[in-house]
């Protein structure tokens, strides 16, 4: 049986990418990373991948006159790699409907909020402004609606009385580095799958996503 392959899309520093690279190296994710693709040629994440001897590809969105041309090039490039899973790790481009359809049911993203709360950007600021007592991150399958695909796992942390946007973001990011590798391993091992927009865990449909709270993992229900 061949080792599952992963393609990871990034735009920036790649801290979640690094967490995934480390988890693969430590045997916590039973898969190989076949390539890391960035739409920014100077993304730090490219250096992280190169340091781990992972192939890197740059598709600079600024070099395309039309967004559709970039989207088609990205779709074609990922398709050539024939990944079992496509992982978005801080990829700051909205994917085309064609891309999402092409890789349907094998496309994961991580979002810094407890979805469905705070879709989009500035999630930490919005959580503070809303006086939320809890905040966190969600790993979800990607759908055509932004940050709206079915959730696999969430990490929840308390919002502290002295938190600001920076401190809250840092604490959430630490949790992202924990739950993303968990979700990826579940997928590549066959424990998690998406069928007809329904998440299955160990071949059973789930009503609630898994949670990671205070270093304790609760499996999906």
Q: Which percentage of the chain shows pLDDT scores above 70? A: 100
What pLDDT is recorded for position 93?
92
What pLDDT is recorded for position 219?
96
What pLDDT is recorded for position 2?
87
Burial class of residue 44, CB neighbours in 10 A (0-12, 13-18, 19+): middle
What pLDDT is recorded for position 1?
67
pLDDT 10s digits, 91-138: 999 999 999 999 999 999 999 999 999 999 999 999 999 999 999 999
Domains and CATH numbers, the chain: 5-218 (3.40.50.170)
Query: Known catalytic residues?
Result: 111
Among 189, 115, 179, smallest CA distance to 150 is for 115
pTM: 0.97
pLDDT 10s digits, 164-207: 999 999 999 999 999 999 999 999 999 999 999 999 999 999 99
Q: Is the pLDDT of residue 142 over 80?
A: yes
Among 202, 208, 204, smallest CA distance to 189 is for 202
Among 170, 12, 5, smallest CA distance to 91 is for 12
The mean pLDDT of 54-72, rounded to a whole number, is 96
């Amino acid at each position: 049986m061949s080792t599952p392959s992963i393609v990871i899309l990034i735009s920036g520093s790649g801290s979640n990418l690094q967490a995934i690279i480390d988890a693969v190296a430590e045997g916590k994710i039973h898969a190989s990373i076949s390539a890391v693709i960035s739409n920014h040629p100077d993304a730090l994440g490219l250096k992280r991948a190169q340091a781990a001897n992972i192939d890197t590809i740059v598709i600079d969105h600024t070099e395309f006159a039309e967004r559709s041309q970039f989207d088609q090039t990205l779709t074609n490039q990922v398709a050539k790699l024939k990944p079992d899973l496509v992982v978005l790790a801080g990829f700051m481009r909205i994917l085309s409907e064609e891309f999402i359809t092409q890789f349907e049911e094998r496309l994961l993203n991580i979002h810094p909020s407890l979805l469905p709360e705070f879709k989009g950007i500035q999630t930490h600021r919005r959580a503070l402004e809303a006086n939320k007592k809890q905040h966190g991150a969600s790993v979800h399958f990607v759908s055509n609606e932004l940050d709206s695909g079915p959730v696999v796992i969430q990490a929840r942390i308390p919002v502290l009385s002295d938190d600001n946007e920076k401190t809250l973001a840092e604490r959430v990011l630490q949790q992202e580095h924990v739950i993303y590798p968990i979700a990826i391993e579940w997928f590549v091992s066959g424990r998690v799958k998406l069928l007809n927009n329904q998440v299955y865990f160990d071949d059973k449909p789930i009503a609630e996503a898994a949670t990671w709270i205070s270093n304790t993992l609760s499996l999906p229900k």
